[in-house]
């Protein structure tokens, strides 16, 4: 086999997203996965708003919505006293995707995303991404191929891959990326540790029922939490016929009986899968060793509480994709890849902290459960009221994470031009999204005159946004990027929304739509600015 530019270990959502990003930017990619094929475990269930913005850039948002949950279904969350037949203790009302789209279109202050989130099960998303990757020129995806070990030097990486029948081959590449999950071979070969904490040991079961969704007395939603001593939690999967149940029972055999108990009325169903898993909040002490890089669960473990696991890994893939492409194509300097860990590891730590806060909130209301809670007595009523009051507050940390999803900022990156008065302190956990154009932040979404998001005007290179057509010095900045062979465009903010949200200055965006620089005028040293944001110079002191 000829030399490949990038080998990716792992064909999950993170590895496949990275492959599509790279392939669309003209990079040759080989994705290998040790599984014989894609599985039927739900695992992740939701692409958040930021992830859907990125999928829109890749041209995949519409197909993901078509494959995922019915966009007219409400996203409600229920906390249940005993089973689905009793009135809920708490009912948190969340709009459907189509209702969210309509609401977003009426928001003109930059607080809405370009896309709402989408509920889609991993077993639905993976085939879609696999097909998209396989259809991307320069990308090849193969299964039954396991990374055994590798060696690297200043010129590249030699990766030993073994097939299911024991045949081995050595693949030469410029870079190797480990997207191979929590037990990552790539991470273990590098001697990198995941550091953090283990929480509950859970069992997960996947059940199939044709009729359950249409007969739930308390109403249709996406999540049903049960106030019991087993942390029972039922999730509606994207076809509305599969249901995953998580609980702290001791054996696999207990899960079907628990499912019947929490449903509370007779239904026809079958058990598709039962297994155990461990809640973990862990972060790798490094994300990169020279030409070998980690992304996704190989770099961080975020428990499902808050839905940040796959979405954090997806953000890794987006950040890493354009930086690898730039480096391989010569318009990214040696500091550009260094910025991957500087940007994504603090984001991983932040998302782990948010998930921890959500899990702590959930444990707080669950701790108020007592055996008499379901009783039809004054004591039972008092217990239900107490738990419901606490859950009404604490459960929201698991579902209202808009600020975590959209509001992260790269505050210590060597390839972002911070103003001299920027203290560069990463924002504290803020679950409410507050639009900002500070360097390092994702550019807030605004709407064009034709109703499309402003992001649709932005390509896979650098973009200078201005609120006026007469900007002096654009030719100097254009020439500076041209000298580096780096893609660059000038975009005028045409709508009142954009002008109001972005201000009357200038914003320089990177390919991932994070703000690399802002100012009133093009700096005299336009070449220096271009070299900094492309990684040939560093903004950080030695």
Q: Are 158 and 151 in contact (CB under 8 A)?
A: yes
Degrees, nearest 5: CA angle 329-12-54:
55
pLDDT value for 426: 61
Domains and CATH numbers, the chain: 4-69+116-195+281-356 (3.50.50.60), 407-533 (3.40.30.120)
Q: Using CA atoms, how far apart are residues 384 and 370, in angstroms rounded to an integer?
A: 9
Please state, in angstroms and rounded to a whole number, the distance separating the CA atoms of residues 42 and 399: 19
Rounded to 5°, angle at Cα 58 from 315 and 411: 30
pLDDT of residue 337: 98
Please say whether the beta carbons of 43 and 346 come within 8 A: no
φ, ψ of residue 233 in degrees (nearest 5): -150, 115
Q: What stretches in the chain show pLDDT beneath 50?
A: none
- Looking at residue 429, its pLDDT comes to 84
What residues contact 266, with CB distance under 8 A and at least 6 apart? none
Predicted confidence at residue 425, as pLDDT, reads: 63
CA atoms of 234 and 207, how far apart (whole Å): 10
> Using the 8-state DSSP alphabet, how is residue 106 labeled?
T
Contact 84, 263 (CB under 8 A): yes
Phi, psi of 211 (to 5 degrees): -115, -15
Q: If DSSP codes are grouped into helix, strand and coil, which group holds residue 213?
A: helix
- Do the Cβ atoms of 48 and 86 come closer than 8 Å? no
Half-sphere CA count of 185, side-chain side, radius 13 A: 17
pLDDT of residue 304: 84
Q: Of the candidates 425, 508, 434, 430, which has an alpha carbon nearest to the alpha carbon of residue 473?
A: 508
Q: What is the pLDDT of residues 69-100, one digit of tens each?
A: 999 999 999 999 999 999 999 999 999 999 99
DSSP H helices, 25-70, are: 49-57, 61-67
Burial of 37 (0-12, 13-18, 19+ CB in 10 A): exposed
Tokens of 120: 């889609």
Q: What is the 3-state secondary structure (H, E, C) of 465-500?
A: EECCCCCCCHHHHHHHHHHCCCCEEEEECCCHHHHH
Q: What is the largest CA-CA distance in the chain?
A: 78
User: For residue 386, which phi and psi values (nearest 5 degrees)?
Assistant: -65, -50
For 1, the token pair is 């086999």
Q: Are 234 and 243 in contact (CB under 8 A)?
A: yes
Q: Read off the pLDDT of residues 177-223 as tens digits, 9 standing for 90 and up.
A: 999 999 999 999 999 999 999 988 999 999 999 999 999 999 999 99
């Amino acid at each position: 086999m000829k030399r490949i530019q990038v080998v990716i270990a792992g064909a999950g959502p993170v590895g496949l997203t990275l492959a599509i990003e790279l392939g669309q930017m003209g990079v040759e990619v080989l994705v290998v996965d040790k599984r014989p094929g894609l599985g039927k475990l739900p695992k992740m269930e939701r692409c958040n708003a930021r992830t859907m913005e990125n999928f829109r850039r890749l041209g995949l948002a519409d197909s993901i919505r078509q494959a995922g949950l019915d966009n007219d279904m409400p996203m409600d969350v229920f906390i249940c006293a005993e089973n689905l037949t009793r009135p809920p203790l708490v009912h948190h009302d969340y709009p459907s995707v189509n209702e969210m789209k309509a609401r977003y279109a009426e928001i003109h202050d930059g607080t809405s995303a370009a896309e709402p989130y989408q509920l889609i099960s991993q077993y639905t998303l993976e085939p879609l991404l696999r097909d998209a990757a396989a259809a991307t020129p320069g990308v090849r995806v193969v299964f039954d191929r396991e990374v055994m070990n590798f060696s690297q030097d200043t010129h590249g990486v030699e990766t030993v891959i073994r097939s299911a029948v024991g045949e081995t081959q050595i693949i030469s590449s410029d870079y190797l990326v480990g997207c191979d999950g929590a037990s990552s071979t790539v991470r273990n070969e590098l001697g990198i540790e995941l550091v953090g904490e283990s929480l509950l040991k859970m069992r997960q079961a996947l059940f199939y029922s044709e009729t359950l969704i249409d007969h739930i007395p308390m109403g249709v939603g996406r999540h049903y939490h049960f106030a019991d001593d087993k942390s029972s939690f039922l999730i509606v999967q994207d076809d509305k016929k599969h249901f995953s149940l998580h609980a702290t029972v001791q054996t696999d055999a207990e899960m079907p009986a628990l499912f019947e108990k929490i449903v509370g009325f007779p239904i026809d169903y079958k058990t598709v899968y039962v297994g155990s898993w461990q809640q973990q909040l862990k972060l790798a002490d490094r994300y990169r060793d020279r030409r070998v890089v980690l992304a996704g669960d190989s770099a961080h473990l975020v428990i499902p509480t808050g839905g940040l696991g796959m979405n954090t890994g997806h953000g890794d893939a987006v950040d890493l994709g354009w930086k690898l492409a730039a480096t391989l194509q010569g318009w990214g300097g040696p500091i550009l890849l260094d910025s991957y860990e500087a940007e994504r590891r603090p984001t991983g730590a932040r998302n782990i902290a948010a998930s921890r806060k959500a899990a702590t909130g959930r444990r707080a209301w669950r701790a108020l459960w007592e055996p008499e809670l379901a009783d039809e007595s004054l004591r039972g009523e008092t217990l239900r009221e107490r738990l419901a009051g606490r859950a009404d507050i604490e459960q929201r940390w698991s579902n209202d994470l808009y600020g975590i999803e959209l509001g992260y900022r790269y505050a210590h990156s060597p390839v972002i031009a911070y103003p001299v008065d920027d203290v560069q302190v990463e924002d504290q956990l803020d679950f409410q999204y507050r639009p900002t154009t500070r360097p390092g932040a994702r550019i807030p979404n605004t709407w064009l005159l034709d109703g499309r998001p402003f992001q649709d005007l932005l390509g896979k290179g650098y973009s200078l946004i201005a609120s006026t057509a007469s900007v002096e010095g654009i030719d100097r900045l254009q020439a500076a990027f041209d000298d580096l062979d780096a893609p660059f465009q000038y975009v005028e903010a045409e709508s009142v929304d954009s002008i109001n949200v972005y201000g009357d200055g200038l914003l320089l965006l990177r390919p991932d739509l994070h703000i690399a620089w802002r100012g009133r005028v093009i700096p005299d040293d336009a070449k220096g600015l271009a070299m900094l944001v492309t990684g040939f110079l560093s903004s950080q002191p030695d």
